[in-house]
Structure 1
């Protein structure tokens, strides 16, 4: 029993100490001239889908949930956000070259079609991000229209 109390005690100490390890949650300002929804004058219904299912990880407009402020969960959340922005950042769309934009659109189409996005772990914590079949079709069609136009 003495050993168990020591384990609990030190576990609590470690948990308290790791709360002081910082996670950079700084959001870059969004230049609307580079923002995907502005560049394409995206219809409101598509904007709503993007905002609820994509923007937390794929933009500079992340809304951090309360659990994202507790280590070690905060580390995992920030890692996923950084990785998401690395693959596609809607807030910085205007900065990318056309080959990269085409590639991001193609990857987005595939990810939405095969249900790998939004990320299942994200959907588990954000049920509103679970896209319906109709929303997926709408998003895929929208991205495909942009691809076909060649004006990305």
Structure 2
């Protein structure tokens, strides 16, 4: 019985060590994208800070990785979350979206913030500073609404 446990433990350790060689590509962009949402037009620094603190890790081309991202299979799960987040909205590619899509994304930001769906609860466990206060939510909603009006006026 003891030999089976030790053999199983050895196999587990070897497999765990082996999977460490298979790492996902990092979501790091060295230079600021020319398509980034704040590249062409500056925004209130509070908005920039809020988005970078609460949204950019999963919704941009530049993630600030936690230490535990170096351990598989956690790194795979984080990479998948980032890929899914960027598929929904990527602030680094904002200017590549047509105005109608930008408008829809801003509306979605408002909905997600109002319903406390973003940032994800699983993200907030480790990143408590990303939690949005009621004042933060109001500021984000005001900013998103203002951007929506700006888009509407530019497409008339």
Normalised-by-shorter TM-score class: over 0.9
Query: Alpha carbons of 1:112 and 1:30: their partners in 2 closer, same or farther (altered >3 Å)?
Result: farther
Q: Which residue of 2 aligns with 1:87?
A: 88
Runs of 5+ unmatched residues, structure 2:
none
Mapping 1:1-152, distance limit 5 Å: 1-149=2-150, 150=152, 151=154
Stretches of 4+ moved more than 6 A in 1? none
Aligned length: 152
Once the two structures are TM-superposed, the CA of residue 22 in structure 1 deviates from its matched residue by: 2.4
TM-score normalized with structure 2 length? 0.91
Once the two structures are TM-superposed, the CA of residue 87 in structure 1 deviates from its matched residue by: 0.7
Once the two structures are TM-superposed, the CA of residue 42 in structure 1 deviates from its matched residue by: 1.1
Matched residues in 2 for 1:31 and 1:21: separation? 28
Matched residues in 2 for 1:136 and 1:40: separation? 22
Matched residues in 1 for 2:27 and 2:142: separation? 33
Is the Cα contact below 8 Å between 1:23 and 1:78 reproduced in 2? yes
TM-score normalized with structure 1 length? 0.93
> Secondary structure, in 3 states, of the residue corresponding to 1:49?
helix
> Secondary structure, in 3 states, of the residue corresponding to 1:37?
coil
